[in-house]
Amino acid sequence: MERILKKLRNRIEEEELDRINGKVIKIVGLTVESEGPDAFLGEMCKIYLGNGERALAEVVGFREGHVLLMPYEDVSGLKQGCKVVRTERNVDVGLSNDMLGRILDGLGRPIDGKPFVPSQRYPLVNDPPHPLKRRRITEPLSVGVRAIDGFITIGKGQRMGIFAGSGVGKSILLGMIARNTSADI
């Protein structure tokens, strides 16, 4: 009886590993196709590269029973048969006041070599806050550009879109605002 239970337990563990692990079967352009794991759309997976490194990738689709992954990092050393493992979480970033003044990569991780311990994690894909539950904007923000301050005043906490054709000075305007605005962040 014990032998049968041990055999069943081993079989269940193998089945479970097949659901959380997969392997790279095809690479086309920037897309990596893998056989497994049993991941959901938008989930982060780790790809174990042939050179011993790991790369994060997001599940972006499915084709004929295979998982389509889009890597977020350099995949030098990627080859057929590399292991793909589920993280069982969506794309998120760690947040903390320790991030202020730091240099970050595209995934919000510091690249300045100093330690970083996030106090919370925040999903990148999220519902927007309800417009009526947002704090009212009541205080003007001086941006140091007279035309904006005089005619189209901006409030503290307000979002602002700058739309214009190429070569008309959007970057220069943003530089002026960044230099002349008195704000902490």
Q: Is residue 21 in some structural domain? A: yes
Q: Which of 86, 98, 101, 104 is nearest to 45 (CA)?
A: 86
- 31 and 65 co-located in one domain: yes
Residue 98: is its pLDDT beyond 70?
yes
Q: Is residue 10 in some structural domain? A: yes
Residue 12: is its pLDDT beyond 60?
no
- Average the pLDDT over 115-119 and give the result: 80
Give the chain's domain count. Answer: 3
Boundary-marking domain end, from 126, 141, 171 = 126
Residue located via tokens 């097949």: 18
pLDDT of 19 reads 52
Q: Is residue 185 in some structural domain? A: no
Whether residue 154 contacts residue 146, with contact meaning beta carbons closer than 8 Å, is answered with no
Q: Is residue 118 in some structural domain? A: yes
Question: Which band of pLDDT confidence, cut at 50, 70 and 90, is reported for residue 132?
Answer: confident
- 83 and 103 co-located in one domain: no
Q: Is residue 175 in some structural domain? A: yes
- 60 and 135 co-located in one domain: no
- 19 and 73 co-located in one domain: yes
Q: Which of 100, 81, 66, 86 is nearest to 20 (CA)?
A: 86
Q: Over the stretch 33-42, which tens digit does the pLDDT of each residue have?
A: 888 788 888 8
- 109 and 141 co-located in one domain: no
Q: Are strands 21-28 and 31-35 parallel, antiparallel or unpaired?
A: antiparallel
- 68 and 28 co-located in one domain: yes
Share of the chain above pLDDT 70, in %: 90
Question: Which band of pLDDT confidence, cut at 50, 70 and 90, is reported for residue 69?
Answer: very high
Q: Could you give the C-alpha distances from 157 to 138, 163, 183, in angstroms and in order?
A: 9, 19, 11
Residue 111: is its pLDDT beyond 70?
yes
- Phi, psi angles (nearest 5°) of residue 15: -65, -45
Residue located via tokens 């032998």: 3
pLDDT of 14 reads 47
Q: Is residue 164 in some structural domain? A: yes
pLDDT of 68 reads 93
Return d(Cα 174, Cα 179) in angstroms, integer. 9
Query: Comparing 15 with 71, which gets the higher pLDDT?
Result: 71
- 101 and 176 co-located in one domain: no
- 26: part of which helix (H) or strand (E)? strand 21-28
- 115 and 138 co-located in one domain: no
- 59 and 109 co-located in one domain: no
Here the CATH number for the domain that contains residue 15 is 2.40.10.170
Residue located via tokens 């054709």: 165
Return d(Cα 85, Cα 139) in angstroms, integer. 49
- 70 and 102 co-located in one domain: no
- 95 and 119 co-located in one domain: yes
Q: Is residue 26 in some structural domain? A: yes
Question: Which band of pLDDT confidence, cut at 50, 70 and 90, is reported for residue 54?
Answer: confident
Boundary-marking domain end, from 111, 126, 141 = 126
Q: Which domain holds residue 162?
A: 131-180
- 97 and 154 co-located in one domain: no
pLDDT of 17 reads 45
- Average the pLDDT over 114-143 and give the result: 84
Return d(Cα 59, Cα 44) in angstroms, integer. 6
